[in-house]
């Protein structure tokens, strides 16, 4: 037992793990949040501003009851809201670029929490997970790779001593918390489905495809709904994979299940019309991929870019 504890201690404190995965999470969630804010820019006043049906007074009352903080309710003025919105866009860009990541990650978390708490009526599971991920990423060294910070500090000797020990330990613990969060999410979702009669008899996806709230492509939904056996199999596979995933983390089966889960989220994005939710979930899945996978992708992209830019000789 003592040997296992020492090995776990060394794993958590010797060097920061999954730095590329942390960078992918930073870039992905920063980009998604910027896209969301930019997409809703024409409707910002009706969603989060003073003209929202969920008025600032209601938001303040809810914040007082729940203890949730949102700086958007500190003032009802339109100018204040516009400044906050502009700063939120800038912070999202700085976060995805990895500029002064330690400080900006905290600002990014405050932005995500503030916009979430301003109007909870429009949020979904993807927003909930984004809030959690933004908070967890504050503890990670997500600016060590693929960032402006990494470029700025390139060539400098690595820091040693107590500060580096603390940074490494906190980063690794935060990454483990992110992994645990995804496992809890999938495990709980699968267990809840097991208790449902519609998932048990294989008809749950039929009702999803026939819900007016989730039919962005009615013809495609009707086509898929015509294959009852395949829908039933897809439903059973969904439940099985979600329940099994937390137990597969220490085997290569994990990668097979990740492919299935990513395919499931892509299907949700297209068939159910929830692309942002699916993107948030797929990004969360990236935490389970090893750094050698991301380094391989980076080498391939760089090699193809060099090949594509190479001039073709004239004969």
What pLDDT does 315 receive? 43
Is the pLDDT reported for residue 31 higher than 80?
yes
Quote the tokens at residue 257. 């299940």
How confident is residue 157, by pLDDT bands cut at 50, 70 and 90?
low
* Burial category of 173 from C-beta neighbours within 10 Å (exposed 0-12, middle 13-18, buried 19 and up): middle
What pLDDT does 14 receive? 82
Return the minimum-mean-pLDDT range out of 4-18, 222-236, 243-257. Answer: 4-18
How confident is residue 284, by pLDDT bands cut at 50, 70 and 90?
very high
Quote the pTM value. Answer: 0.92
For the stretch 69-115, pLDDT in tens is: 899 999 999 999 999 999 999 999 999 999 999 999 999 999 999 99
What pLDDT does 139 receive? 96
CA atoms within 13 A on the CB side of 314: 0
The share of the chain scoring above pLDDT 70, in percent, equals 96
Contact 157, 165 (CB under 8 A): no
Query: CA geometry: angle at 89 spanning 84 and 94, to 5°?
Result: 120
How confident is residue 312, by pLDDT bands cut at 50, 70 and 90?
very low
Q: Per-residue pLDDT averaged across 138-160, rounded? A: 87
37 or 8: which leads in pLDDT: 37
What are the structural domain ranges in the chain? 11-151+158-185
Return the minimum-mean-pLDDT range out of 6-15, 18-27, 163-172, 235-244. Answer: 6-15
Q: What are phi and psi of 7, to 5 degrees?
A: -65, -40
Cα separation, 234 vs 97, whole angstroms: 38
Of 94, 107, 90, 111, the closest CA to residue 148 belongs to 94
Q: Per-residue pLDDT averaged across 8-19, rounded? A: 85
* Burial category of 19 from C-beta neighbours within 10 Å (exposed 0-12, middle 13-18, buried 19 and up): buried
Quote the tokens at residue 177. 């918390």
How confident is residue 175, by pLDDT bands cut at 50, 70 and 90?
very high
Is the pLDDT reported for residue 310 higher than 80?
no
- What does the buried/exposed string (b/e) look like for 95-126 if buried means 16 or more CB atoms within 10 Å of the residue's CB? bbbbbbbeebbebbbbbbbbbbbbbeeeeeeb
Average pLDDT, the chain: 91
DSSP state of 186: H
What pLDDT does 264 receive? 95
Q: Per-residue pLDDT averaged across 179-207, rounded? A: 93
Q: Per-residue pLDDT averaged across 208-237, rounded? A: 91
Q: Per-residue pLDDT averaged across 165-191, rounded? A: 95
What pLDDT does 214 receive? 86
Q: Which helix (H) or strand (E) holds 118?
A: helix 101-118
124 or 147: which leads in pLDDT: 147
């Amino acid at each position: 037992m003592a040997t296992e504890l020492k090995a776990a201690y060394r794993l958590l404190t010797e060097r920061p793990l999954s730095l590329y995965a942390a960078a992918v999470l930073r870039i992905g969630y920063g980009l998604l949040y910027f896209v969301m804010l930019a997409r809703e820019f024409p409707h910002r006043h009706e969603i989060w501003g003073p003209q929202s049906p969920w008025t600032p007074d209601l938001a303040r009352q809810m914040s007082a009851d729940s203890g949730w903080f949102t700086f958007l309710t500190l003032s009802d003025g339109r100018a204040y809201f516009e400044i906050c919105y502009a700063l939120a866009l800038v912070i999202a860009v700085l976060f995805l670029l990895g500029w002064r990541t330690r400080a900006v990650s905290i600002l990014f978390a405050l932005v995500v929490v503030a916009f979430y708490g301003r109007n909870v009526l429009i949020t979904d599971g993807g927003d909930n997970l984004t809030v959690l991920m933004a908070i967890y990423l504050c503890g990670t060294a997500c600016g060590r790779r693929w960032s402006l910070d990494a470029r700025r500090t390139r060539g400098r000797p690595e820091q040693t001593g107590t500060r580096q020990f603390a940074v490494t330990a906190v980063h690794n613990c935060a990454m483990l918390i992110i992994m645990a969060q995804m496992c809890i999410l999938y495990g709980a979702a699968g267990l809840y489905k097991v208790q449902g009669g519609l998932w048990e008899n294989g008809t749950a996806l039929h009702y999803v495809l026939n819900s007016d709230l989730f039919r962005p492509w009615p013809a495609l939904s009707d086509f898929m709904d015509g294959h009852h056996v395949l829908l039933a199999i897809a439903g059973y596979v969904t439940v099985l994979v979600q329940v099994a995933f937390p137990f597969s983390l220490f085997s290569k089966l994990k990668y097979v299940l990740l492919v299935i889960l990513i395919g499931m989220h892509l299907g949700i994005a297209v068939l159910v019309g929830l692309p942002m939710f699916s993107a948030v979930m797929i990004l969360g899945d990236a935490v389970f991929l090893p750094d050698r996978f991301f380094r391989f992708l980076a080498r391939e992209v760089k090699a193809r870019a060099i090949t594509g830019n190479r001039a073709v000789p004239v004969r």
